[in-house]
Amino acid sequence: MGSYRFILSGGGTGGHIYPAIAIANELKVRYPDAEFLFVGAKDRMEMEKVPQAGYKIEGLWISGLQRKLTLKNLMFPFKVISSLMKSASIVRNFKPHAVVGTGGFASGPLLKVASGKGIPCVLQEQNSYAGITNKLLANKVAKICVAYDGMEKFFPKDKIVKTGNPVRGDLVSLVENKVEALSFFGLQADKTTLLVLGGSLGARRVNVLIEQSLPLFKEQGIQVIWQSGKLYYEEYKKYESGDVKVVAFLNRMDLAYGAADIIISRAGAGSVSELCIVGRPVIFIPSPNVAEDHQTKNAQSLVEKDAAIMVRETELDEKFETVFLELIRNMDLRGKLGANIKNLAMPNATKEIVNEIEKLLVQQ
């Protein structure tokens, strides 16, 4: 047959956008002549990130429901109707052979229209607690690719395939030469290295914690790579020293992970999947400000397997120092957490998801 056409839809946050781009890249490797179209929400970050990755994108006028009565909520029914009409027009004109939804509000109308026209649709759910859009679409799609066990409480069991979450390719071949990684950051080979990840924008509460804990780290002879996020860099760069490297953003995540002995991180789905591949002991501090408390549930699913430690934001003042010192001093605990989290890694997730899409193409 001629070249395939694929629509990928998802967005609102990097957690939905980057998996969609990774899936498109893998499809492109297998089908170099294929055509791709992304569909996102008009005013969200996908409108910038997707073209940067080299793909065309169309925007829908859609947003989530607010938790309280606002003007935005009153507009919601009009946005849904508008988005369904535009989705119908996109599907009619582009004539996709398959549609992939990675979560976020924009994927709702698009996949509803496409599945209604009998086009094979695949959902990719990154979190251990399914998002509202994916739950609403579950009965309409052909396959649902997940990253956690126990997802049959949200989705029909016969549609679920456990593939893991797509992660960036450079992590799968992680830098194992620790000396090279440490010298990149100007750090010493004989000290324990802590890597702090607050996400690309940064996490206010995590930064406050690190600032308060700098004397503790110094006392313990620990050196720190502190990714403060671009919103907070100006505030915290004054702490830069021989043992503390403060950066707004990490362009070489492979080297940052390669240098780390211990990691403190938020618990977004993408971060959790990456950290499984990295295989270092992690203290998760989940963000309490995300929909349906996804991050706490993601972290909890690792804690239950003895694969990570979690400290909630509300417990940091009373618990963090004790938990941290135990991890620093107990090499057995560090070894166990590192080995257990690595056992959960699914480095071939992107390929497995595309395998599922291929099976549906063959059936057409």
Instruction: Give per-residue pLDDT as tens, 207-243.
Output: 999 999 999 999 999 999 999 988 899 999 999 999 9
Write the DSSP assignment of 257-314 as a string of letters.
HHH-SEEEE---HHHHHHHHHHT--EEE---TTSGGGHHHHHHHHHHTTTS-EE--GG
Mean pLDDT, residues 26-40: 95
pLDDT in tens, 269-322: 888 999 999 999 999 999 987 767 889 999 999 999 999 999 999 999 999 999
Please measure the distance between the N-terminal and C-terminal CA atoms of the chain and give it in whole angstroms: 11
Proportion of the chain above pLDDT 70, given as a percent:
92
Could you list the residues known to form a binding site, using ranges. 13-15, 127, 168, 200, 295
Could you list the residues known to form a binding site for UDP-N-acetyl-alpha-D-glucosamine, using ranges. 13-15, 127, 168, 200, 295
What is the pTM for the complete model shown? Answer: 0.84
pLDDT in tens, 79-99: 777 788 888 899 999 999 999
Residues in the chain, total: 364
Tokens 């990691």 locate to 263
Question: CA 129 → CA 147, 157, 167, 181, 318, distances in Å?
Answer: 10, 15, 19, 35, 28
Locate the domains of the chain by residue range.
5-167+347-362, 170-343
Q: Residue 153 carries which DSSP code?
A: G
Mean pLDDT, residues 341-356: 93
**CATH code matching the domain that covers 170-343, chosen among 1.20.1250.20, 3.40.30.10, 3.40.630.10, 3.40.50.2000:** 3.40.50.2000
* Domains 5-167+347-362 and 170-343 are alike in CATH topology: yes
5-167+347-362 architecture in CATH? Answer: 3-Layer(aba) Sandwich (3.40)
